[in-house]
Structure 1
Amino acid sequence: MENNTIVFSKRLAPTDTNARLAIPITALEHIEGDNILRCRDSAGTEWQFKFYTRPNGQPKPAFTTGWLDFVRAKELRIGDVVTLSKQEDEYKIHAKRAINLMGQEIMVDL
């Protein structure tokens, strides 16, 4: 049985769609390796994000370089939800948007 851990899930704010993705500090315990995080989306495309933390004081982790390429490719906007999960040694990134379908709000993959 595969171990699938949700690293974080976040509703996007303005800074997340036009500069960098600020991620929760609690995600740090699940992210390993150098300052480049490699992950795959639901279509199997590999994405690389530079992972940045401030060296002094509060870490304030964020994905920087490569993040806006993902935003543009998926046409992400404020309010969309991005989830990063880890399955075995591989990271997966998913983007979803809430849409209204016949009076019901549903989440669709982007």
Structure 2
Amino acid sequence: MALFVKILTKIDVERTLSLPDGCLQALPEYRGSHVGHGKELQVKDDVGILWNFRCMIRAGVVRKLDIVSGWIQFVRFKQLNSGDGFVLYRDDDTLTGARYMIEVFRSYESSSFVHQNTYLA
């Protein structure tokens, strides 16, 4: 099941990824987390590589989840740029629990990709 689509900004590809509003509800593992406490998020990409992202909840009026480590290595490996995007998927397995997958797309694909996947979330 697709959780969300994110079009990357300049800050996302140069420093850290700030996940969209509402993603805390889509990631139940983080709902009870406290501001400043980090947790690992393992994500498998579209070619089967497992990525370990360190996530932290940012304080503020609206709490947001930021990926603070592992993300820049992913961006460089995938050669992502501002305007490119990704979809985060979740698959619940009764034996192993939740598994997350990430699929990236280039900016020239983004308008048709987002339009085609509007109803997945």
SS at match of 1:78: coil
Deviates more, 1:50-59 or 1:86-95: 50-59
Report the counterpart of residue 80 of structure 1 in structure 2: 84
Identity %: 27
Is the alpha carbon distance of 1:54 and 1:106 closer, same or farther for their aligned partners in structure 2, counting shifts above 3 Å?
Answer: closer
What is residue 24 of structure 2 aligned with on the other side? 28
Aligned partner of residue 47 in structure 1, secondary structure: strand
* Residue 27 of structure 1, CA deviation: 1.0
Number of aligned positions between the proteins: 99
Q: Which 4+ runs in 1 deviate beyond 3 A? A: none
Other structure's SS at 1:33 match: helix
* More displaced 10-residue stretch of structure 1: 26-35 or 11-20: 26-35
Aligned position for 1:59: 63
Relative to the length of structure 2, the TM-score reads: 0.72
Deviation at 1:59, TM superposition (A): 1.4
More helix by share: 2
Q: Does 1:90 align with 2:104?
A: no
Cα distance between partner residues in 2 of 1:26 and 1:60: 8
Output the amino acid matched with 1:27. C
Which whole-Å deviations, capped at 9, do the CAs of 1:56-103 have from their partners, x for residues lacking one? Answer: 643121111000010000000010011111011110011101448xxx
Q: Structure 1 stretches of 5 or more lacking a match? A: none
1:85 and 1:92 in contact (8 A); partners too = yes
Give the distance between the partners of 2:48 and 2:84, measured in 1 at CA.
20
- Cα gap change, 1:31 to 1:106, in 2 (>3 Å): closer
User: More strand per residue: 1 or 2?
Assistant: 1
List runs of 5+ in structure 2 lacking aligned partners: 31-38, 93-97, 114-121
TM-score (norm 1): 0.79
Equivalent position SS for 1:69: helix
Q: What RMSD in Å do the two structures reach over aligned CA positions? A: 2.1
